[in-house]
Structure 1
Amino acid sequence: MVLSLCQEGEAGQKKEEPERRGKPHGPGSLRKSLHRSTMAMWIQAQQLQGEALHQMQALYGQHFPIEVRHYLAQWIESQLWDSVELDNPTEEAKAKRLLDNLVAELQRKAQLQGGEDGFLLKIKLGHYASQLKSTYDRCPLELVRCIKHILHSEQRLVQEATNASCGTGGQAMDTLSQRHQQINQAFEELRLATQETENELRKLQHSQEYFIIQYQENLRIQAQLSSLSSLPPAERTQRETTLQSKRATVEAWLTREASTLQKYRLDLSEQHQKTLGLLRKQQTLILDEELIQWKRRQQLAGNGGPHEGGLDVLQSWCEKLADLIWQNRQQIRRCEHLTQQLPLPGPMEELLSKLNSDITDIISALVTSTFIIEKQPPQVLKTQTKFAATVRLLVGGKLNVHMNPPQVKAVIVSEQQAKALLKNESTHSESSGEILNNNCVMEYHQATGTLSAHFRNMSLKRIKRSDRRGAESVTEEKFTVLFESQFSVGGNELVFHVKTLSLPVVVIVHGSQDNNATATVLWDNAFAEPGRVPFIVPDKVLWPQLCEALDMKYKAEMHSGRGLSEDNLVFLAQKAFTNSSNNPEDYHNMTISWAQFNRESLPGRNFTFWQWFDGVVELMKKHLKPHWNDGAILGFVNKQQAQDMLLSKPNGTFLLRFSDSEIGGITIAWVAENPNKPGERLVWNLLPYTTKDFSIRSLADRISDLNHLLFLYPDRPKDEVFAKYYTPPLSKAVDGYVKPQIKQVVPEFTTPNPEPSGGTPAFMDQTASPSVSHPNNFGVYPPMSDAMLDADGDFDLEDTMDVARHVEELLRRPMANQWSSQQS
């Protein structure tokens, strides 16, 4: 029993115009990830050479013939394979359409073939159409899985070849290409070393077989000598002399050959020791560096970092390792058999025992380390909510584990239980909760060569929490999902009990806990060290380190390259730290603690730094993403900065900034004349908008409603920036009904608008406040008392009318009465 635990266009034919059956969309589209070269990827793939060409050819077979790829190259590369979610059964209809279209395209291609040369091709393509239809008709998702694997693998091989050619052309190869080249060179050395020991082993076997034959000859001579006693003396003497001479010759040869065999065995053992050293070095490089880096990228992907895949490359390396290790293990076992068959004096038995033990350790480390979580469970895990995960054994196909498919079990364990498991203090899996649908059988996908278990419908029914320490809240308590399985290789020769832990998860029971739970996950993902004791993270980090994590999160949520600028980060530093400075260098060496990040409230507020930042992210993600990516929102600007910026600009210039006093609020600040003091200019701030407001009327439409807003800071006409987001005018009355229109007004800055045709608008008021002084007369609204303003000068929503209720109230009033009241 082995126990281990791992943490966390077509070439050569007439060019055809590709059929546009759909345009790729989104960053996940395969078409977007392909090289932006005029040359089709298949044409580039055909130019591969050596090992790369061999790897490309190995992608194809009965499951997907290479001829189909060749003759449908342009069509295949134009389809949206990446838009199909393989783990979602509801996507089967989409996959079925792709299969049907593929078959139809093959049949169409077959019908186009004519003449004697095209006759055989016509038959062949028709046969492939029928073959693919019968193979994948009941499991169309497997076809999509197969083609996605082929296209991504081709893309990788072409990219690696391109990088390599750039290097040979005198340009410096990037670090990734150099590392891959180093690994591939080491595999070639191992292949040659393994082939050499195989050749030497065969020579040894042949020599030993001949030795045994001669040994048997010597025994036969010995028997003949023993039978001479029955012969007459004269004949006996003559025969005895001949036989003894022959025996002496054979025995001398046997003595020499025994020494030679012994030397062969020792030399072969020494060669095996060197090969095992190379195998161990290569395995360390792949498992302790490449696989750990992949896991680190997977962890940072939880914070929005790029997780570029690379698992197929890792699997190909691990499979090569498994193949080479197994070959060497079989060679060592054959050496043992030869030694048992012909025992000779010397240390061979001990040497072979040591080699066998070493090779078993190597393959055990490989198998147990390559039992990984391909798709992590959600790190903020809500009880009674469905979730999914996928585990994969990278060497499963190579070791034929799927011949007896193993079952994987998932249990949730606490931080303390995870520590005990890693220290081997606990051999049985204690649970801290109950997960429904937590057993799954590993399935082998022949097209991709992957052995994996897809947990599609797990649900955490209940959780058992531990005693919390000090100020720690439930959203700071970490758990992990433990996946474990058992399987054998080599005909039950080796049995493996494998376990792997998911990234830390925070269990919540209500959506209101999501914000704080996400903070715990972000801090852990960003600052966890490889090989740590579960789940220790530093209590303090440098401010630039946190900036990097916040920027990664922000860019991921915006789906844009526009992240947080240096000025934005200075603003955030001023908010996080009590001492304010406008110099970025002042913050570079400062540290921020977990308590400052999300345990202690900001001065004068009832929320933490993270809660404020996360509120901004949620608001932007749900409603304002396009405007941020357009550069229309400055956002991270305080009230005093906005005033200084706007007072130097013409009246009607405005900007958008995040509210300092409210979570997930954004306000409009603009410069205008003081209606009570002619000649005096003030900067006004509108009551902050929240998600609730934008669910009623969009930001662009609100800005369009306010005629006194003319230029977006510094000097861009507002229609130039926002017009493409305006809601089109309402259509005319249908069936005698007119749909009312919601519009926003700021009474003090309202200018008369002509009555729209076909209906009367219902208005929604939004209050504004100057940031310099507060006039006593606001027209429609009574003067505001200081109690309605918070310490920052922003409005407290709890003391003002809820926008949604106000709209609802306006819409329920009789239209005629409303219009007459407005006229009066």
Structure 2
Amino acid sequence: MSQWEEVQKLALWLQEQVASLYTDTFPWRAAGSDCERRAAALYSCLLVELEGHCARQQSLVHRHALKKVAQQLQEKYKARPLHMAAVISSSLWEERRIIERGQETQDRSAESDRRRHMDTQLAVVGCVVQGLAQAVKCMEDLQEDFDLRYTKLSNISHDPAMMDNMFVKLEVKVQNILNELHLKRKEVLSSMAGALSHVSALVTCDLPAEVAAWARRQQLACIGGPSPPGLDQLQNWFTLTVQSLFHIKRHLDKLGELLTKVTCEDESDAHLRPQMEEQVNNLITQLIKSSFVVELQPCLSNMAARPLVIKTSTQFSTKVRLLVKLPEVDYQLRVKITFDETLPPGQGNRLFNISSNNTKVMDVESSSGCLSAEFKRLELRERKATYEPRGNQSSLPVTEELHSICYRGQLRIQGLNIALETTSRPLVVISHVCQLPSAWASVMWCNMLTDAPENLSFFSRALSASWSQVSEVLSWQFSTLVGRGLNREQLSMLGDKLLGPQASNNDCQVTWSMFCKENLAGKSFSFWTWLDSILDLIKKHLRDIWVDGCIMGFVTKERAQALLKEGQVGTFLLRFSESHLGRITFSWLEQGDEGNATVHSVEPYTKHSLSVMSFADILREYRVITDGVLTGNPLKFLYPHVPFDDAFGKYGSPQRDEEVIGYVECNFISVSMFSTSRPPRSPFPELCELSPGTLDIINQTISPSADGQISLDHLEWE
């Protein structure tokens, strides 16, 4: 579906927001193309399309309006096609934002509708069961009345002196009560059938669908998606449903007792009670089985943001829960976990044992009243497999081997013996931390594309994903791990890097190899390796300024130059290196000697550099040495036009409590050096230790050589 088709499906008030974008105040933020030539081609194509539509238009009014639009475009953008590309890019981004808002509104509305439906269904069941209880009570009263009168009638029949008109009247009364009792039994059986019909719909359709929806949201939350709602609402629905079933079960037992006391001549419906009893038992069993869920997927204690990756000989935890409050449960309900019990035969994966205690008693949680079992100190140990023919050995890398944990228990309640069983989501087992990035990529890819926990052969033929799916999950990674997701422009750059220019706009397919296994063009690393190294860099050294939106991050060198040349001198932006793993650089606009604007980029900073000095301090203390002369900081405005102190003022270096007597205070600053005798290339930054008086020495010790060139060779960096 095209974006415009999605817009047309929005609610009217959201369509009006889209329409408001296309007014005389048509917005633009940044260049929508990296190349003036491409923007000019886009501009020409647009005019041709308008001319074609105008020629085909039958309405004079519409034809005149199109001609006016074409004239305005020529007047406004003929000399600035790059600006027109920016207008289109910005407006399409705003359209997408409005579409996403509409989808969120629809999702919330659908969720609210489902909750109302469940509440309504449970209310109906509650009323039916309550009415059933009253009918059974009425039947019990009739039964007692019948018993009393029948006993009296029996006594009269044994006394000839009393065999008179009173006996006949009493006999008629007893027969009438018996007839009424017979009708009441039919009514109760009919009411029970209606109640079971309502409950059956809940147990077989509605509640499993709610559990499946929650499980899918939990699965996506494992790979960074929005957190699923709590289980309290589900538990309430399950508990109300099972309580209704137990009420019906008790009423059926009571009906059975009453039927044994008095047998009517026409008991054609008597066979319904055993059938209903069996149906109730089956529904209770099915309901309790489906309420046994994995509340906490297997996760290492120090990697909460990346569950489902388990390291051998390292403790991990997991938790199961029963979504029903059962008043008559044997609280010695034990849960046992096993590893890889559902692994397909002959898959050839590595074999593991759970070395710690794999059995735990389910406890009652004080907060929710439910039964749960949390395993906190589990460990995996690899075990040597017996010899297998080579054809059965796994051809997959260890980070693509999928495993699972199975949880089992046996519940006994009211004569029922219920086998509980559930499994974890597919997980990856690693033996060294260096395998973590690849293992996490496997977890993301698998859980993004399949919700079948038993599909442990997924990577034997890994499915492809659309770019829209991949981009959403990538944004989740940044949101979860470093506190801020990716915006549309950043995702667009990533899509172009992975799929080629503009391919991401068409929602192309991304294969597993493209994402994680194949190296990027001209690079020695894959797309995911590059992106994961940036995540690690932000997490360890750049989190605050990333969360505050100071880092544009994902922008090519060419696009950075195009953006900066539209700003004022001293404007700079921060971006991640495309040629090196886990590095960040900055580019700024400087006024050249001949009056032309020049964009400079420094060698990307490594994690080691940022561990010596914070990036905010590097930016604040940055200096340039031109022909041996130290100049001021060229970084004045964070793109597009935020004054430096407004952007980075709160990241100032901590003040020293006291000065150390006898020492001259020194500071680390970042310096770039280049000469004016040749066109300057990318400056080469060094962390220099400067003390009072050093600035005078610099001019004496660092100067151009005889040929006017400084001695430091310059390199071009991404």
TM norm. shorter chain > 0.5: yes
Q: Distance in 2 between matches of 1:611 and 1:565?
A: 21
| 1:587-633 superposed Cα distances (whole Å, 9 cap, x missing partner) | 23x11122221122222222222222222222222221222232221
2:339 counterpart residue number: 412
Matched, 1:384 2:313: yes
Matched, 1:603 2:521: yes
| 1:381-424 superposed Cα distances (whole Å, 9 cap, x missing partner) | 111111222221121x33332x533121222216535999xxxx
1:626 counterpart residue number: 544
- Following superposition, the deviation at residue 252 of structure 1 comes to 4.9
Q: Distance in 1 between matches of 2:438 and 2:246?
A: 49
Matched, 1:198 2:133: yes
Matches within 5 A, 1:3-18: none
1:481 counterpart residue number: 405
Q: Structure 1 residues 517 and 285 mapped into 2: Cα distance closer, same or farther (>3 Å)?
A: same
Does 533-542 or 711-720 show the bigger shift? 533-542
Match of residue 704, structure 1, among 620, 623, 631 = 620
- Following superposition, the deviation at residue 725 of structure 1 comes to 1.4
Matches within 5 A, 1:209-608: 209-224=144-159, 239=161, 243=163, 252-284=172-204, 286-344=206-264, 345-378=266-299, 379-395=308-324, 397-401=325-329, 403-413=330-340, 416=343, 432-462=352-382, 472-490=396-414, 493-529=415-451, 533=455, 536=458, 539-560=463-484, 563-577=485-499, 579-581=500-502, 585=505, 587-588=506-507, 590-608=508-526
Contact 1:705 1:743 in 2 (8 A): yes
- Following superposition, the deviation at residue 358 of structure 1 comes to 1.0
Contact 2:221 2:227 in 1 (8 A): yes
Contact 2:669 2:689 in 1 (8 A): no
TM-score by length of 2: 0.71
Q: Distance in 2 between matches of 1:697 and 1:468?
A: 53
| 1:765-812 superposed Cα distances (whole Å, 9 cap, x missing partner) | xxxxxxxxxxx987352465xxxx7xxx54xxxxxxxxxxxxxxxxxx
- Following superposition, the deviation at residue 699 of structure 1 comes to 0.8
Aligned residue for 1:294, secondary structure, equals helix
Q: Structure 1 residues 471 and 554 mapped into 2: Cα distance closer, same or farther (>3 Å)?
A: farther
- Following superposition, the deviation at residue 635 of structure 1 comes to 1.0
User: For residue 540 of structure 2, what is the amino acid of its counterpart?
Assistant: K
Aligned residue for 1:695, secondary structure, equals helix
Q: Distance in 2 between matches of 1:688 and 1:555?
A: 24
Q: Which runs of 5+ in 2 are unaligned?
A: 1-106, 300-307, 624-632, 675-682, 699-706
Contact 2:402 2:456 in 1 (8 A): no
Q: Structure 1 residues 419 and 375 mapped into 2: Cα distance closer, same or farther (>3 Å)?
A: farther
Q: Structure 1 residues 696 and 640 mapped into 2: Cα distance closer, same or farther (>3 Å)?
A: same
Q: Distance in 2 between matches of 1:283 and 1:502?
A: 22
Does 636-645 or 355-364 show the bigger shift? 636-645
1:723 counterpart residue number: 649
| 1:496-546 superposed Cα distances (whole Å, 9 cap, x missing partner) | 220111122111111111101111111223222468755759601221121
Q: Distance in 1 between matches of 2:243 and 2:394?
A: 52
Q: Structure 1 residues 184 and 644 mapped into 2: Cα distance closer, same or farther (>3 Å)?
A: closer
User: For residue 343 of structure 2, what is the amino acid of its counterpart?
Assistant: Q
| 1:662-705 superposed Cα distances (whole Å, 9 cap, x missing partner) | 2222122234478xx97776533322223232222111111122
- Following superposition, the deviation at residue 281 of structure 1 comes to 2.2
Q: Structure 1 residues 666 and 334 mapped into 2: Cα distance closer, same or farther (>3 Å)?
A: same
Q: Structure 1 residues 783 and 522 mapped into 2: Cα distance closer, same or farther (>3 Å)?
A: closer
Contact 1:201 1:335 in 2 (8 A): yes
Matches within 5 A, 1:32-111: none
Does 363-372 or 258-267 show the bigger shift? 258-267
Sequence identity, in percent? 27
Match of residue 635, structure 1, among 553, 561, 566 = 553
Q: Distance in 2 between matches of 1:758 and 1:647?
A: 37
1:646 counterpart residue number: 564
Q: Distance in 2 between matches of 1:382 and 1:617?
A: 21
User: For residue 212 of structure 1, what is the amino acid of its counterpart?
Assistant: D
Q: Structure 1 residues 440 and 346 mapped into 2: Cα distance closer, same or farther (>3 Å)?
A: same
TM-score by length of 1: 0.62
CA RMSD of aligned residues (A): 3.7
Q: Structure 1 residues 480 and 187 mapped into 2: Cα distance closer, same or farther (>3 Å)?
A: same
User: For residue 439 of structure 1, what is the amino acid of its counterpart?
Assistant: T
- Following superposition, the deviation at residue 354 of structure 1 comes to 0.9
Q: Distance in 2 between matches of 1:446 and 1:308?
A: 22
2:12 counterpart residue number: none
Q: Distance in 2 between matches of 1:681 and 1:565?
A: 29
Aligned residue for 2:284, secondary structure, equals helix
Q: Which runs of 5+ in 1 are unaligned?
A: 1-171, 226-238, 421-429, 764-775, 795-824
Matched, 1:659 2:577: yes
How many residue pairs align between the two structures? 568
User: For residue 474 of structure 1, what is the amino acid of its counterpart?
Assistant: V
Match of residue 208, structure 1, among 143, 148, 163 = 143
Q: Using CA pairs below 8 Å that are at least 6 residues apart, which structure has the higher relative contact order? A: 1
User: For residue 650 of structure 2, what is the amino acid of its counterpart?
Assistant: K
Q: Distance in 1 between matches of 2:239 and 2:322?
A: 10
Aligned residue for 1:360, secondary structure, equals helix
Aligned residue for 1:449, secondary structure, equals coil
Aligned residue for 2:404, secondary structure, equals strand
1:807 counterpart residue number: none
| 1:46-66 superposed Cα distances (whole Å, 9 cap, x missing partner) | xxxxxxxxxxxxxxxxxxxxx
Contact 2:576 2:584 in 1 (8 A): yes
- Following superposition, the deviation at residue 219 of structure 1 comes to 4.2
